[in-house]
Amino acid sequence: MSKFQPPRGTRDFLPDDMVRRRDVFEKIMDIFRRYGYGEVWTPAFEDFELLSKKSGPEIEEEIYSFKDKSGRKLGLKFDPTVPICRIVASNPSLQKPARFCYITNMWRYDRPGAGRWREFWQSGVELIGPMTPEADAEMLALVSDSLKAIGAKGFYFRISSRKIVDAFVREAGIPEKSTADVFRAIDKLDKIGESGVMAEMKSRGIKPSQADAFMDLIKSGKSGGPELDELKSIQATAKRMGVPNVEIDLSIVRGIDYYTGFVFETMVKGFEKLGSVASGGRYDKLIGIYSGNDVPATGYGMGIDRLLEIIPEKEAEPPVTVFVVPVKDEVKNDAIAITQVLRGRGVSTETEMMGRNIRKQLEYISKRGIPFAIIVGPSEVSAKKYTLRDMKTGKETKLSLDSIIRKLA
């Protein structure tokens, strides 16, 4: 056994794993296309300055960063939104609305755990240009349709607004400089509970009376003003778009600093401990950090790895449709020729390469779950009719190659 294993927080995916993952990728990408989103792919690494411009140099503790051979400081991407903002900032004449989608792997130096990996996959979209409730509601519709497409059930949305929570911070008398501390604390409500949130706020220098006032506002939802009406408009629009179970929960703030308004999380009943499977919101000022001009934008990311822990495993499909069995060495070249004809006509096909006898070949076919075998011997080659065996029933039929192709293609 090799001493070498994948680095901590990463995995190998074998063919059976990839069949399931690819099925999820393709179903989600099909939903993106239906909504008019075009796929983008950005580099695995970016200038560290780009990655840290919003989050600050302390982000280096949370990501993979390094210097290349020319001494340039780079970092592996950990959030697809930032590279897409770079694209938009570099193309000021980009036609709006711009609809971008992606399914990509990313890296973050995180402690591995349930649904958390150092290399992870995320799907998502960025909608650049509109500043309307319809644009934000479309994020919920995309998530809803994507989850339905891959067989997820029991999901529900919690939506909020950073504008409202910002206003609550001010109304509670909490200093503006402590806003980020409040957001970090309230973002942990599901994990540490209300008492834990209160304790964390107080540990960060927020007065007990201020913390109490803030939590009262979060729970009551009072003083939401026009921003609360906007949130209700998003909720109503999403309902008209067929999105079920959208609830307003003002404790949702999302820990990422660049959100400016609408934010949301997606939970699945029975799997709440895994956290949100799809999260996002509005970030109207992030592009401006890179270009100098603010551009309205909204989007979300969906964690593929968490989804795969939630959705039911589908029955594995056969790796190939048919295996061509040469009975003797003298017909090996004929078996290869038949294999290539089948492949050329769209039939996934294997043939023998290990020099095994017919019994060993048939055992291999059964173990692999290959549904059909084509047995090729001298008499079959001479007659140009080959024995097609159904491996499930054992039934054998003599057919021409064209007839076999019509049956299997």
Assess whether pLDDT exceeds 70 at residue 299.
yes
Q: Which of 278, 310, 342 is the last residue of a domain?
A: 310
Domain count, the chain: 2
Q: Which of 5-19, 24-38, 99-113 has the highest mean pLDDT?
A: 24-38
Residue 72 within a domain: no
For residues 10-19, give the mean pLDDT: 92
Within a domain: 4: no
Determine, yes or no, domain membership for 8.
no
Give residue 221's pLDDT.
Answer: 67
3-state SS of the chain is CCCCCCCCCCCCCCHHHHHHHHHHHHHHHHHHHHCCCEECCCCCEEEHHHHHHHHCHHHHHCCCEEECCCCCEEEECCCCHHHHHHHHHHCCCCCCCEEEEEEEEEECCCCCECCECCEEEEEEEEEECCCCHHHHHHHHHHHHHHHHHCCCCCEEEEEEEHHHHHHHHHHCCCCHHHHHHHHHHHCCHHHHHHHHHHHHHHHCCCCHHHHHHHHHHHHHCCCCHHHHHHHHHHHHHHHHCCCCCEEECCCCCCCCCCCCCEEEEEEECCCHHHCCCEEEEECCCHHHHHHCCCCCEEEEEEEHHHHHHHCCCCCCCCCCCEEEEECCHHHHHHHHHHHHHHHHCCCCEEECCCCCCHHHHHHHHHHHCCCEEEEECHHHHHHCCEEEEECCCCCEEEECHHHHHHHHC
Is the pLDDT at 114 greater than 80? The verdict is no
Domain encompassing residue 375 = 322-408
253 has pLDDT over 90? no
Do residues 302 and 329 share a domain? no
Residue 83 sits in the same domain as residue 116:
yes
Indicate if 301 and 349 belong to the same structural domain. no
Same-domain status, 254 and 383: no
pLDDT band for position 203 (cuts 50, 70, 90): confident
- Domain boundary (259, 283, 310) is at 310
Please report the pLDDT score of residue 170 as a whole number: 87
Looking at the fold, whether 260 and 394 belong to one and the same domain comes out as: no
Tell me what pLDDT residue 115 has.
67
Q: Closest Cα to residue 154, out of 311, 361, 358?
A: 311
* Residue 222 predicted with pLDDT over 70: no
How much is the average pLDDT of 265-290?
A: 94
Residue 191: pLDDT over 90: no
Same-domain check for residues 88 and 209 = yes
Whether residues 279 and 360 share a domain: the answer is: no
Kindly state the average pLDDT of the residues 63-92: 96
Question: What CATH number should be reported for the domain holding residue 388?
Answer: 3.40.50.800
Give the CATH number for residue 133.
Answer: 3.30.930.10
Residue 365 sits in the same domain as residue 264? no
Residue 223 confidence (pLDDT) above 70: no
pLDDT in tens, 171-186: 888 888 888 888 888 8
- Whether the CB-CB separation of 253 and 263 falls below 8 Å is answered with yes
Same domain for 187 and 234, yes or no, is: yes
The most confident of 198-212, 244-258, 385-399, by mean pLDDT: 385-399
| Residue predicted with more confidence, 212 or 35 | 35
Confidence (pLDDT) at 187? 79
Region 155-163 average pLDDT:
95
Per-residue pLDDT reduced to its tens digit, 38-65: 999 999 999 999 999 877 788 899 999 9
For position 220, what pLDDT does the model report? 77
Domain finish residue from 267, 282, 310: 310
